[in-house]
Amino acid sequence: MTDNHWLEAALAQALTKPLTHLVNLEQPLDFNSYVHAGGYMGATKALREFTPKEVLALVSDSGLKGRGGAGFPTGMKWSCVPALQEKPPAHVNTEQGNSYLICNGDEMEPGTFKDRYLLEGVPHQLIEAMIIASYTISANKAFIFLRGEYHVAAQRLQQAIDEAYENNWLGAKVQGTDYQLDLYLHTSAGRYICGEETALINALEGKRAIPRAKPPFPQVSGLFGKPTVVNNVETLSNLPHILKHGSEWFKALSPHSDPGTKIYAACGQVKNPGLWELPMGVTIRELLYDHAGGMQDGLQLKGLLPGGASTDFLTAEHLDTPMDFDSIAKAGSRLGTGGLIVLGDQHCPVAMVLNLLSFFAQESCGWCTPCRDGTAWAVEILTRIEAGSGTDADLSQLDELCDFMWLGKTHCALAPGAVEPLKSAMRYFKTDFEQHIEQGCCSYKKVAQNQLGASYE
């Protein structure tokens, strides 16, 4: 049963917070309640009023970009599927069978927890979205690739999938049409590299999770050699609302060049860590101070990662930068997943970067030398610097490693993402690195030792 007062309040926000207005983490809407709240209207419209190419045109016109980190236009990605092309490439066998849709729910990026919020709070929204996307790309089988630790999300998704089958939204002749779709939930063994779409596809096939060489791209040859589209949870979740309200409504949600809303998050040394659905392009200042409550008492902002752990640091001079793809790129970082990781002025950036690099070194798939050896080498050097036994040569070595692991020199983007916080920390906080070398420790440790009368760890 659903509380009517809660539902009324939720529906009042349907046009301004489309992704999250129906989220209920304690008791997500069951099938009947979701339908009562307007659910499956977008899927109904897609199946009964639009051809697949018309849905593609609507999504393309909306300007929806991927919310998983890369920000690639969704409609453009779908348009590469042979079934949606006027003249498929000669080497593609269009009679080979159906294409596949995969929802990437792995969400292993540190500082990011928006997809979990949607998966646990409104699972039917994702299922409806996958019906729309699958219909558009002529897929008869779809998969949700879920992070293994998301046990609650797995339970709620499976329950929603079962309800969708019971009510003829999945299976043969969906809602009396000729369309058929089977949806499967796959829980991952859990590796960061599965956030890369071709590594995810390999894992889904039962192979070692390593990225594939491209081309061919998955839209032409992906899962089991067939055309495959991989989209993020948040990206897909926009589809029911775009179908229901139209592309012009979606574009009007944001005053900036990137349309729609975004689920932004903040964690680290802020007063109110959490997440909020806001118009694309909200400034860092507004997100940090109006929504996350500002810095914890006694702290000033030293730096922040704007889009999860694999993005470059920004500082107080960037507070008025809009949180959209182009603006953050011009500021020298990436929007990524839109999750701020905030560092205060009484805490050590060297220790923070060491923590991040340790994670990336552990999560490297080991396929290429720059990533496999470079991340571990960077951890070794940073550990030495943090312990107070570093040298000036170590800083030069870190600079060389950042170049060694940069774009175009690795098999995928894991290593370049891993060194983004390191490169930018050495640029903005160089004196902190030098202080570790010259004095054997940093001022943050000395302050902590004076305050606590004990070793600071």
Q: Which CATH class is domain 4-251?
A: alpha beta
On the CB side of 271, CA atoms within 13 Å amount to: 14
Distance CA 45, CA 243 (A): 7
What would the CATH number be for the domain defined by 254-344? 3.10.20.600
Alpha carbons within 13 A on the beta-carbon side of 285 = 6
Looking at the DSSP bridge assignments, the partners of residue 339 are: 265
pLDDT of residue 69: 82
pLDDT at 210: 94
**281 and 327 in contact (C-beta within 8 Å)?**
yes
* pLDDT on residue 450: 43
The whole-number mean pLDDT for each consecutive block of 10 residues of the chain, a chain of 457 residues, reads 78 93 96 96 97 96 91 93 70 58 94 95 98 96 95 98 98 95 93 93 95 93 96 97 97 91 96 96 97 96 96 97 95 95 94 96 93 96 93 94 93 94 96 90 56 40
| Paired strand residues for 230 | 102
Residue given tokens 């704007």 in the structure block:
306
C-alpha 100 chain-centroid distance: 20
Residue intervals of the chain classified under CATH 1.20.1440.230 are 349-452
Q: Give the model's pLDDT for residue 86.
A: 64
Coil, helix or strand for 381?
helix
Distance CA 223, CA 231 (A): 14
307 and 328 Cβ atoms separated by less than 8 Å:
yes
pLDDT at 443: 67
Q: Tell me, what's the pLDDT at 191?
A: 87
| DSSP tag of 240 | H
Q: 229: closest CA among 6, 59, 440, 431?
A: 59
What was the pLDDT predicted at 2? 64
The pTM of the full predicted model, rounded to 2 decimals, is 0.92
For CATH 3.40.50.11540, list the domain ranges present in the chain. 4-251
Q: How far is CA 429 from CA 119, 318, 348, 426, in A?
A: 38, 15, 10, 5
Amino acid 286: pLDDT: 97
User: What topology does CATH give the domain 349-452?
Assistant: de novo design (two linked rop proteins) (1.20.1440)
The predicted pLDDT at position 94 comes to 44
d(CA 78, CA 385): 47
Domain with CATH 3.10.20.600 in the chain: 254-344
Q: What is the pLDDT of residue 457?
A: 40
